[in-house]
Amino acid sequence: MLFVSYEFIAFTILLFVLYYLLPKKCQWPLLLIASYVFYWIANPYYLIFIGTTTISAFAAGVLMDKAQGRADLAIKAAKEDGSYTSDLKKALKAKAKSSKWKILLVSMLFNLGILAVTKYTNFVITNINKFLEDGAALKAVDLIIPMGISFYTFQTVGYLIDTYRGTVKAERNPFKLALFVSFFPQLVQGPISRYGDLSKTLYGEHKFTEKTFTYGLVRILWGYFKKVVIADRIITAVTALIGDTETYTGAYVFIAMFFYAFELYCDFTGGIDITIGIAQCLGITVTENFNLPYFSKNIKEYWNRWHITMGSWFTDYIFYPLSVDKNMLRLSKWSREHLGKFWGKRLTVYLSAFIVWLATGVWHGAAWNFIVWGLMNFAVIMISQELDPLYLRFHKKFKVKDKAGYGVFEIIRTIFLMSLIRMFDCYRDVPMTFRMVGTMFTRFRLSTFTDGSLLQLGLGSSDYIVLAAGLLIILSVSIYKYRSKKDIRDRLYDTPWIWYGAMSFLLIITLLFGAYGHGYDATQFIYNQF
Amino acid sequence: MKKRIVALISVLVITGIILAFLSCLVMPKYMSGIIEGSLTEEYYDDKAPHEVIFIGDCELYENVSTVELYREYGISSYIRGNSQQLIWQSYYLLEDVLRYEKPKVVVFNVLALKYNEPKSETYNRMTLDGMKWSMTKVNAIKASMTEDENFVEYVFPFLRFHSRWQELKASDWNYLMGKEPVSINGYYLRADVRPETGFPEPKSLTDPAFGSNAMMYLDKMADLCRENGIELILVKAPITYPYWYPEWDQQVSDYAQEKGLTYINYINEMDAMGLDMTTDTYDGGEHLNVYGAEKFADHIGAYLTENYDLTDYRNVPGVAAIWAEKESLYDSILQQQLSEIAQYGELMSFGKNAIEE
């Protein structure tokens, strides 16, 4: 059931009605049923995977909790019978930690193993076959890749690590944990929620309020507007541009780069808007995943604003643990002693960052283009970090940093750089991407923009007008948020005519100008495949 | 709170009006060029009673002149036909007719038996969009939908046709609130002439048996007519292309015999009705023009009058008055087409290649 389908809309409306009609204590069980029905409709076999992940995570969480509980009880008992010493406490805590670590390791390996086998087996086979003779080549295996497996596995692993760390208590109700893992709006493409955040509102009883509900509706409409009016319209040109790499070189690659940047932005943020909007209609708060990423002035800032929950997941669960890992600390010490101050300071940080970006690339897909994409991000971030002193000297001399024009330049530069790196995702082939990007500099024809070539990409002039107007609306709303640091809904809500008028406007322009329905291929969200 | 409720209700009403207006605007009007999409809905506007209902595809709505039937025999008839009208659509259109009137005779063209499953969304829309809502229409849609169609888009055609905002023409505005008739009791008149010059050799049939789905609907149609005391006549129109195989002809003959129905293959009577395919067709022999359609009407009209107790409506003043208007429309459309042919050498406002405003 695609988000952009009549069935999904009917499914969601029915859920809203039941959610607020049934007794409040039935709300979270209803969401669980709805989530499993949603997943079952996609493919009944998916339930085996998500069910296995849930059961294993539930068991691991409870076992970790029990191990901790046993230690706490033993300490308490020792305090009561007078045998308590600080050494005993340390020993008991160390034992509990060791048990928890083993449970965590097993459960993580199990769940990440499912992810690895389903998503990466054929990638590994393909690469092994490159070293084998034709007759000895391994056959690709036909495996089901459950929808959203990367998202719910990471969310579950986050829950396990948080339980291990003691930042959250293990969930003792398996059905509640099942809902956390499978909550349907975010199952398709995230965000990757933390148990500590989502559980605050996921299981609560929610009373219908006009404000919360209509805030959610506006967010849903905004998401559909971005998805069907912009992303699903511009995809026609993107598909044409990347589909014929012989014809569409030079300036066309430049166009493809920016078109894809807009498509991905509207597709991914639109999908997240729908997710967060549905949750909001249900009174549930889902973590924001974007914060005006195309207003970033450098790549580091960009990654703090784009796919925030994924970035923070990698930071919290991979980068930091790696940075304070005993072996890393040992390596840091060794590098300071043997490689000097420069590398001593950098080696472990770079190594941790390298691993994180490699993992980020692998998480996005089982293909070299994603791995190279991840490593390109790593390279650019590291290089810009190394160039920091140079920037400082430049700004000291020229005093342009606070000028608005320079800010705009920084934003455009970041968008260009990120879009350039994303070409690996766009062409899905590393040598091809290098070749195509090369033609941007060797075969660039300015006349491509003026001689009507843009009208040969499957979009007519009216499509370009819709795209321009749509992007202008998105830009205006974004500028408002960037400058005022406020949600535009807060401004509109107090004037009912404007509030409901805005909803009506969004609904009508989405229905009229959207690229949906018969004659259009309903497109799944790009991030659904990750 | 009261202010919010008033605003909400007002905006809902305004939104509904805007969407209804946009829906009317973007719906195809089928007023020139491909006009077949208008045929289904025109039935509901006709005030005359119909003792004969023709049900079928282009082999009926382009080949039988309803005005000629009236002029020569006083038969008041209607053709409920559309482009590539599939047999289940014919069945449900007949069921739809029975919601309004009970004809004495139903004439069904059997060419549609060769199709056993839904074929084309475009043709589906042209046939079904004009139907008035009822369970009959719901069932017709369900039976007709291709895999990539969605029922919701029939309920809210705006969802299907919204992208037509990019191709709106003057006719979309001109016929926003109402349309003029494009047919005369379902008959699509063409006055141009393009002689038949031969057809490709027929391909051999891999499986000559009609599909079970098609035959099931023929059964349903026969049952429906029997239950309502209507005479069902199976016909094959006097058109030789697309090829009507002897195996198919035999199956229909056998079926008619088994069910006690009349089956007439008019291909065998083309000479008897005086059809000359050098002058009586407008597209090289695939459909008849008005001259051919009048000959076919003369022929089948004689058969109907001889074999069924049909009223001569020329003698019923109320109905004759209605038919007088139809005759006038028929003559004016014919005259317009003849003028166009005289002026341009071809028709400019009819057919696939018509220049639309």
Shortest CA gap B163–chain A (Å): 7
From first to last of its 357 residues, chain B has per-residue pLDDT tens of 889 999 999 999 999 999 999 999 999 998 888 888 999 999 999 999 999 999 999 999 999 999 999 999 999 999 999 999 999 999 999 999 999 999 999 999 999 999 999 989 999 999 999 999 999 999 999 999 998 899 999 999 999 999 999 989 888 998 888 888 999 999 999 999 999 888 888 888 888 899 999 999 999 999 999 999 999 999 999 999 889 999 999 999 999 999 999 999 999 999 999 999 999 999 999 999 999 999 999 999 999 999 999 999 999 999 999 999 999 999 999 999 999 999 888 888 776 656 555
Domains of chain B, by residue range, sit at: 2-344
Cα–Cα distance measured from residue B26 to residue B153, given in angstroms and rounded to the nearest whole number? 13
Q: Does the beta carbon of B149 lie under 8 angstroms from any beta carbon of chain A?
A: yes
Q: What does the pLDDT read at residue A347?
A: 87
Which residues of chain B does A463 touch, with a Cβ-Cβ cutoff of 8 Å? Answer: 166
Q: Does the beta carbon of B9 lie under 8 angstroms from any beta carbon of chain A?
A: no
Backbone region of residue B277 per phi and psi (left: phi > 0; alpha: psi in -120 to 50; beta: other values): alpha
Are B126 and B140 contacting, i.e. CB atoms less than 8 angstroms apart? Answer: no
**Opening angle at CA B356, ends B351 and B357, nearest 5:** 155
Q: Kindly report, residue by residue over B123-182, the tens digit of the pLDDT.
A: 999 999 999 999 999 999 999 999 889 999 999 999 999 999 998 988 899 888 888 899
Query: Is B166's CB within 8 Å of A519's CB?
Result: no
- pLDDT bin (cut points 50, 70, 90) of residue A517 is confident
Q: Does the beta carbon of B148 lie under 8 angstroms from any beta carbon of chain A?
A: yes
Which residues of chain B does A515 touch, with a Cβ-Cβ cutoff of 8 Å? Answer: 163
Query: Is A514's CB within 8 Å of B162's CB?
Result: yes
- Reference A223, options A210, A212, A232, A211; nearest CA is A232
Q: Does the beta carbon of A46 lie under 8 angstroms from any beta carbon of chain B?
A: no
Which residues of chain A does B150 touch, with a Cβ-Cβ cutoff of 8 Å? Answer: 6, 517-518
Domain B2-344: assigned CATH number: 3.40.50.1110
First to last CA, chain A: 17
Cα–Cα distance measured from residue B164 to residue A518, given in angstroms and rounded to the nearest whole number? 12
Which residues of chain B does A501 touch, with a Cβ-Cβ cutoff of 8 Å? Answer: 11
Q: Does the beta carbon of A243 lie under 8 angstroms from any beta carbon of chain B?
A: no
Domains of chain A, by residue range, sit at: 6-208, 209-286+429-530, 308-424
Q: Does the beta carbon of B121 lie under 8 angstroms from any beta carbon of chain A?
A: yes
Considering only CB atoms, A518 lies closest to which of B4, B15, B153, namely B153
Considering only CB atoms, B15 lies closest to which of A210, A463, A504, namely A504
Q: What residues of chain A, 188 to 227, have a C-beta less than 8 Å from chain B? A: 210
Query: Is A514's CB within 8 Å of B166's CB?
Result: no
Q: What residues of chain A, 471 to 530, have a C-beta less than 8 Å from chain B? A: 496-497, 499-501, 503-504, 507-508, 511-520
Beta-carbon count within 10 A of A395 CB: 13
**Opening angle at CA A225, ends A188 and A424, nearest 5:** 55
| Residue A85 DSSP symbol | -
Query: Is B15's CB within 8 Å of A499's CB?
Result: no
Which residues of chain B does A13 touch, with a Cβ-Cβ cutoff of 8 Å? Answer: none
Which residues of chain B does A504 touch, with a Cβ-Cβ cutoff of 8 Å? Answer: 11-12, 14-15, 18
- pLDDT bin (cut points 50, 70, 90) of residue A241 is very high
Are A464 and A454 contacting, i.e. CB atoms less than 8 angstroms apart? Answer: yes
Residue written as token pair 């034709």: A134
Cα–Cα distance measured from residue B33 to residue B51, given in angstroms and rounded to the nearest whole number? 31
Which residues of chain A does B158 touch, with a Cβ-Cβ cutoff of 8 Å? Answer: 511
Q: Does the beta carbon of B168 lie under 8 angstroms from any beta carbon of chain A?
A: no
Q: Kindly report, residue by residue over A388-443, the tens digit of the pLDDT.
A: 889 889 888 888 888 888 999 999 999 999 999 999 988 889 999 999 999 999 98
Are A225 and A516 contacting, i.e. CB atoms less than 8 angstroms apart? Answer: no
Q: Kindly report, residue by residue over B19-28, the tens digit of the pLDDT.
A: 999 999 999 9
ipTM of this predicted structure = 0.86
Considering only CB atoms, A504 lies closest to which of B11, B153, B162, namely B11
Considering only alpha carbons, which residue of chain A is nearest residue B3? Answer: A496
Residue B81: strand pairing partners: B56
In this predicted structure, the answer to whether residue A519 has a pLDDT above a threshold of 80 is no
In this predicted structure, the answer to whether residue A370 has a pLDDT above a threshold of 60 is yes
Query: Is B150's CB within 8 Å of A462's CB?
Result: no
